[in-house]
Amino acid sequence: MAAKHLIAFLALAAHTVTAIAQTTAPAIVEIRGAMDYATESGQASTATRTDQSLMDVAQSVQVIGPTVLDDLQVRNLDEAMSLVSGIAQAPTRAGTQDAFVRRGFTGESSGGTLRDGVRSIQARNFSATTDRIEVLKGPASTLYGIQEPGGVINVVSKVPLARARTDVQVDTEEAGGYGVQFDHTGPIEGSNWSYRFIASSEDRDDWRNFGTTRRDLVAPSLAWRSSGTEFIVSYEHTDYDVPFDDGAIFGADGAPIAVPRERRFSEAFSRMEGNTDFISTRLQHAINSQWTARASYAFNRNRYSDVRVRANRYDDATGLLRRRVDGRQDVDDSSNYAVADLVGKFRTGGIGHEVLVGVDHERTLGRTGGELLRLTYNGFDTVNPVYGQIPLPTEYDDESRNARALLSTTSVFAQDSMSLGERWIVSGSVRYQRYRQEEGAGLNFVETQNISGSEVLPRVGALYKLAPQVSLYASYATSFVPNVASSPTQGAFDPTEGRSLELGAKFKAAERISGTFALFDIEKKNIVVNLDDDTAQAIGKARSRGAELDVTGQVNAQLRFIGAYAFTATEVLEDASGLQGNRLPNAPRHAASIAAHYTPGWRIANLPLHANAAIRYSGEREGDSANSVTLPSYTVTDLGVGTQFNWNGTALKLDVMLRNAFDRAYYPSADGALRALVGTPRQLGVRLRSTF
């Protein structure tokens, strides 16, 4: 059925293109908004929380702009991060959430993914509302508080525009199902207000032997702009229903067991169902030519329930699998964040200053109604599977009921970037942060953690402009993350602390090609690793060292590209339980990617053609903290071709994409030998987009 739907869609698209091609001299148009990659990547708010040029920032910052996202038809945050050096996929909780290794370190509980500069607690952060993605490498605690030392990923949302624009998109894939997006923005006549309304819906069949993903989103927003003042308020709501799929099993020989990639080891009821809300208000006012005042408030929430059927033990001799059934019910995670700051640009004598001072408060609360009682079932035949033999669980584990975890922080921060003449820029920032952490659970609630404390988090950097288009820099920064409990009944570990040293160079070539080369050395102590589903452990200290190169640019009017390479060497330096000397999990030693969009000027029946290709490579990675399973290296290639035209006055863009064109079997991440995420096989997709 899925193949029939895809063939029908292709036939309709081909018929439309043919009909237009046969008309007399169809008008050729360009979908508005395309820019060269280097221009889009030259500015970001994440690095300094100001509008400072990235050539003047003593830290590696990468931007995946809207043109890159459109050219390569990026569908999720995983695909976007494959274009950035030093970022790899971490265990995604069976494909239900965003999770990344940043310069060797993981830790999604620290909120390493931001939405518009606000720590996100949502499972998935890339959607029809995404405008661009900014990646700040290295510690960001002085600006964003509790963060891992590897860096942060900031997903920046689209805002209302003062000019009318409508974008409609529909797509389908070989596996079956569809995705639809609608985006309309424009001014409210006779006022300083503008609006935007974004909606999307997807209902996609999974490429594995069963499962469907459904997501529905609505996102209205308003903006008021006048005389140096801007006020934006936005709301986003998403309903989702997704499979809970732990992926493949690696046997005792260190290889995936010999069953088709499409085969799941779970059940149809192994799913997560929930909804998210994200509310954001931002006010900015230019007090005078030197000072700007800003204030923001954001609320985000993720509510869900799930049931999980997971591999528990595999017998290599018989091919039989023991499975465990459990789940979390009535999870309600929410976060409130408020920040107020001042940005100033002025001179004292011969020194130019770009100053940021502010205060913020964040309160994150996680609540769970309870966890389903864990039950195990033997005898699932991985070679000849029979599904539907185990019941849907209904009983709760009383010790896990009423779980509650609160983390509250209040901070003041300051930053100054000083221009010393024409070549030197010296920057420094510091955050003083107080925090409170409470945790507990149980039918008769028992508090397992109640701690508070404070931290001072500094960062210093220096940048030297060797030439107008070449900068050399060095930076030192620290990080801090309170550790949450590994289970509702276990108290939290002591906070982790990190420090990072980074040396690098930034360059531009004729304003069309830009890049960053960085060397880094990070140490982090008191890292928590999962030993199994019930227990965790804090290892003593780990280190990550490496080199990264990111380049984006426009070679000529026809060709634009983005490329990345990372060498990352990780090691556990201190640990009393036998992990010393091990590599950190899911961190490839070598990783690289290159993607390009090409408009050769060729035409078929007067229709212009464009093409795109993306190749990504990941070296071997350890699949767990014990280094007991190694994921093989892989190279995956995506190929696409398309055209754009005008039909009855409407601009249309048709793209066909062949993902994993050579059908490579690969495993992006793992949480042990029984849970290795399976990469998508070769899939043909079609997208039709109209902008007017």
State the Cα angle at 357 between 351 and 361, rounded to 5°.
165
Interatomic CA distance for residues 476 and 462, integer angstroms: 9
Q: pLDDT-based confidence at 332, cuts 50/70/90?
A: very high
User: Which DSSP symbol is given to 349?
Assistant: T
Q: How far is CA 585 from CA 52, 192, 285, 421, 442, in A?
A: 35, 52, 46, 45, 32
Between 507-521, 624-638, 666-680, the lowest mean confidence (pLDDT) is in 507-521
Interatomic CA distance for residues 196 and 182, integer angstroms: 10
Q: Please return the burial class of 608, using the count of CB atoms within 10 Å of its CB with bins 0-12, 13-18 and 19+.
A: middle
The pLDDT value given to residue 413: 97
Interatomic CA distance for residues 397 and 377, integer angstroms: 18
Interatomic CA distance for residues 650 and 615, integer angstroms: 33
The pLDDT value given to residue 246: 93
The pLDDT value given to residue 529: 64
The pLDDT value given to residue 185: 98
The one-letter code for the residue type at 673 is: A
The predicted-structure confidence for 136-182, as pLDDT tens digits, reads as follows 998 888 888 888 899 999 999 999 999 999 999 999 999 999 999 99
Whether residue 539 contacts residue 527, with contact meaning beta carbons closer than 8 Å, is answered with: yes
The predicted-structure confidence for 406-464, as pLDDT tens digits, reads as follows 999 999 999 999 999 999 999 999 999 999 999 999 999 999 888 899 999 999 999 99
Q: pLDDT-based confidence at 557, cuts 50/70/90?
A: confident
**Under DSSP, is residue 7 helix (H, G, I), strand (E, B) or coil?**
helix
Interatomic CA distance for residues 251 and 376, integer angstroms: 20
CA 144 to centroid of chain Cα atoms = 17
**Pairing relationship of beta strands 113-115 and 151-157 according to DSSP bridges:** parallel
The pLDDT value given to residue 560: 94
Residue with tokens 């927003």: 221
Interatomic CA distance for residues 573 and 542, integer angstroms: 5
What does the longest C-alpha to C-alpha distance in the chain come to? Answer: 79
The predicted-structure confidence for 564-583, as pLDDT tens digits, reads as follows 999 999 999 998 778 899 99
H or E stretch including 415?
strand 403-420
The pLDDT value given to residue 531: 59
Whether residue 226 contacts residue 653, with contact meaning beta carbons closer than 8 Å, is answered with: no
Question: Looking at the predicted structure, is the pLDDT value of residue 361 above 60?
Answer: yes
Q: Please choose, from the candidates 477, 557, 495, 396, the residue with its C-alpha nearest in 3D space to the C-alpha of residue 103.
A: 477
Dump strand ranges (E) for 531-618: 536-554, 559-574, 590-598, 603-604, 607-618
Q: pLDDT-based confidence at 494, cuts 50/70/90?
A: confident
User: Count H helices, E strands: the chain?
Assistant: 5, 35
User: Which DSSP symbol is given to 35?
Assistant: -
CATH code, domain with 471: 2.40.170.20
The pLDDT value given to residue 345: 94
Q: Mean pLDDT of all residues in the chain?
A: 90
Question: Looking at the predicted structure, is the pLDDT value of residue 487 above 60?
Answer: no
The pLDDT value given to residue 11: 44
Interatomic CA distance for residues 518 and 59, integer angstroms: 8
Q: Which residues fall within 8 angstroms of residue 53, CB to CB, at 6 or more apart?
A: 42, 43
Q: Please choose, from the candidates 52, 119, 21, the residue with its C-alpha nearest in 3D space to the C-alpha of residue 408.
A: 119
Q: pLDDT-based confidence at 23, cuts 50/70/90?
A: very low
The pLDDT value given to residue 651: 87
Question: Looking at the predicted structure, is the pLDDT value of residue 7 above 90?
Answer: no
Whether residue 229 contacts residue 285, with contact meaning beta carbons closer than 8 Å, is answered with: yes
Number of domains present in the structure of the chain: 1
Copy the structure tokens of residue 672.
Answer: 């042990």
**Boundaries of domain holding 75:** 2-691
The pLDDT value given to residue 108: 58
Q: Distance between terminal CA atoms of the chain?
A: 34
User: Which DSSP symbol is given to 666?
Assistant: -
Tally the C-alpha atoms within 13 A of residue 288's C-alpha that lie toward its C-beta.
Answer: 4
Report phi then psi at 512, rounded to 5: -110, -20
Question: Looking at the predicted structure, is the pLDDT value of residue 199 above 50?
Answer: yes
Q: What is the mean pLDDT of residues 369-396?
A: 95
Q: Please choose, from the candidates 204, 177, 311, the residue with its C-alpha nearest in 3D space to the C-alpha of residue 249.
A: 311
Three state DSSP letters for 212-237: EEEEEEEEEEEEEEECCEEEEEEEEE
Q: pLDDT-based confidence at 338, cuts 50/70/90?
A: very high
Interatomic CA distance for residues 479 and 523, integer angstroms: 10
